[in-house]
Structure 1
Amino acid sequence: MASRLNPYLVFEGDARQAMEFYKEVFGGTLELSTYAEIGGASGAPDADKIMHGMLESPSGFTLMGAGTPPGEDYSRGNAYSISLSGEDEAELRGYWEKLSAGGTVTVPLEKQMWGDVFGMCRDRFQVAWMVNISGQQG
């Protein structure tokens, strides 16, 4: 198996909802594990929180995420974004529509000076996304 690089996102109390949202966007198989399932005390306050989640999409995307670990402070950052790129316009526009719904579009998905269709948004969980559709004519 080849090495792979994938984003790992951390959420504040809404990791389950966020990972289920991304499953709706990308499809695929979602595995979620709580602290209780991984060996934490089942009666602990964080027992039902997501300790690890992994989504594997039919397109080959892997997205991992979890809730903030117990005892750590959470801070939403803006030093990251996730880029989706390729030539399948219908697929990428579909992702864009779902990701931007309920979020904030910072750059509309439209043809750019370099010739590709590109857009940027923050989804409803404040995760920054870039979508680039290459090879567009017209």
Structure 2
Amino acid sequence: MSLTAVAHLNFTGQAREALEFYQSVFGGQVTVVTYGDFGMPAELPDAGKVVFGQVTADNGFSVLAYDVPGTDGPAAPAAPTTRRENGTTITKEPFFLSVRGTTVDEVSPVWKGLADGATVVEEFGPAPWAPAFGMLVDRFGVTWIIDVAAEHQG
């Protein structure tokens, strides 16, 4: 038996746009099913919203997303609450999404892609605990940590 934990992101009308953006960064396939596809009458405001969406890529990246029904369409993400202060990370967020690779060359394009339209919390670069580390809040309000796994000395 094996288990896989996958982040499930909740949006208020931006799920399709977010999934397409994440596909542009990570590659893979996007799946989008709307409330209308599940039988909601087209004239209802939520019919075109995403009830099930995912991006799955061969590189191991996977994320799920949907639009919370009954919300009033696209809402701007709240201002990021995560910041660096005196060498520490201060946040009110309940979680961060972490993407870890084995080389700087492997994760640099991910950083560059997610940084488009993002608020950078900590620039991507060498860190005392890893060959590279960076933190940002993307254009959808999701906080990401991008890093390179440190080689462990045995």
Q: TM-score range by the shorter chain?
A: 0.7 to 0.9
Provide the C-alpha distance between the structure 2 equivalents of 1:61 and 1:115, rounded to a whole number of angstroms.
Answer: 21
The answer for the alignment partner of 1:35 in structure 2 is 35
Pair 11,26 (structure 1): closer, same or farther in 2 beyond 3 Å: same
Query: What do the CA deviations read for 1:17-71 (whole angstroms, capped 9, x no partner)?
Result: 1111001001101000000102222221110011110110120211000111226
**Are 1:131 and 2:146 an aligned pair?**
yes
Secondary structure at the residue paired with 2:125? Answer: strand
Pair 122,48 (structure 1): closer, same or farther in 2 beyond 3 Å: same
Aligned CA-pair RMSD:
2.1
Stretches of structure 1 that go unaligned for 5 or more consecutive residues are: none
Provide the C-alpha distance between the structure 1 equivalents of 2:130 and 2:19, rounded to a whole number of angstroms.
Answer: 33
Secondary structure at the residue paired with 1:116? Answer: strand
- When the two structures are aligned, how many residues end up with a matched partner? 135
Letter in 1 for 2:46: D
The answer for the alignment partner of 1:70 in structure 2 is 70
**Are 1:2 and 2:17 an aligned pair?**
no
Secondary structure at the residue paired with 1:32? Answer: strand
The answer for the alignment partner of 2:106 in structure 1 is 91
CA contact (8 A) 2:12 2:71 kept: no
Q: 1:111 aligns with which of 115, 126, 129?
A: 126
Pair 109,11 (structure 1): closer, same or farther in 2 beyond 3 Å: same
**Are 1:59 and 2:59 an aligned pair?**
yes
Stretches of structure 2 that go unaligned for 5 or more consecutive residues are: 79-91
CA contact (8 A) 2:130 2:148 kept: no
